[in-house]
Chain A
Amino acid sequence: MAKPSRALHKSSGTNGNRKLALIASKGSLDMAYPPLILANAARMSGIDVEMFFTFWGLDMITKKKMKNLNVATVGNPNMHPWFHIPTLLGALPGMSAAASWMMRGEIKKLGFPRVPEFIEQLIDAGANVYGCKMSMDMMKLTEADLVDGAIVLGAMEFMDLTEGAQIVFV
């Protein structure tokens, strides 16, 4: 039994100001959610969040792509159990789109937002969202191509920002 207090509400370990650094490097629908959910859980627990989107992870914060992330039906061993398709059939046209459609349905049933809304929710919740400069140069993207509120950042600057943070790479 403990009386309510501010201290009981901090998931901040022993030294306070706990910070989580998330690096999102995958742009498929199934790999987009883990970093988003972790970032959201951290913000809901009062933990500071810095998110770095690199390589295919950039698709999650690129205006043109974020609405249409797909799940791969070939070479993805994790389709089981709700949508199991043999690899050969997975290569058929339309299979990836169908699986993605199904997965979006399942995500909706759980009450989770779609990727663009999720990103917006995280920015509103105070998470900092960064696009990897090198990946953006490679993909010929500028800050204007990113969702509002996202900032272009180099990897070394990200390291400076996340000193002392706990780092999760997805």
Chain B
Amino acid sequence: MTQDILDIVEFDDEGFMINASDWTKEIGEAIAEALEVELTDRHWHVIDFARTDFEESGEPPTLRRITKQTGVDMKEIYQLFPDGPAKLAANIAGLKKPTGCI
């Protein structure tokens, strides 16, 4: 079922969505499943912030910005999104790959 959703979404070579505006919560859930991330309210708190911040700035938030603005601290964010929190969060949120080095 979730595979079907991903079939109709456009991704770049690294698996990031090409059009952030095509994103829906269902797509977010399907991407999370593909990335082996089990979503909780805390994940959604981060993902919602990333989407809002992207709408304002046009860039996916850096990890430091996420921790400063959401109240999810550094330890927790690495537990929520192991193996690269800023990239995983942006990926699930339907944003492009973040480039900030902090």
Contact = CB atoms under 8 A, between A and B. Distances in A.
A80 interface: no
A40 B91 contact: no
A90 interface: no
A44 B102 CA distance: 8
A37 B13 contact: no
A9 B84 CA distance: 7
Interface in A6-56: 6, 8-11, 37, 40-41, 43-46
A2 B84 contact: no
A2 B83 CA distance: 19
B81 to A, nearest CB: 9
A33 B35 CA distance: 32
Given A1-B10, A111-B64, A8 B15 contact: yes
A4 B82 contact: no
Interface in B39-84: 62-65, 73-75, 78, 82-84
Interface centre among B6, B84, B85 (most CB of A within 10 A): B84
A10 B83 CA distance: 7
B12 A2 contact: yes
A2 B14 contact: yes
A121 interface: yes
B86 A44 contact: yes
A91 to B, nearest CB: 34
Given A4-B6, A125-B74, A44 B63 contact: yes
24 contacts: A1-B13, A2-B12, A2-B14, A3-B34, A4-B11, A4-B15, A4-B16, A4-B34, A4-B35, A6-B34, A8-B14, A9-B83, A9-B87, A9-B91, A40-B101, A40-B102, A43-B78, A44-B85, A45-B84, A111-B102, A112-B102, A113-B64, A124-B75, A125-B74
Given A3-B6, A40-B102, A44-B84, 6 more contacts: A1-B10, A4-B91, A5-B34, A9-B35, A124-B73, A124-B78
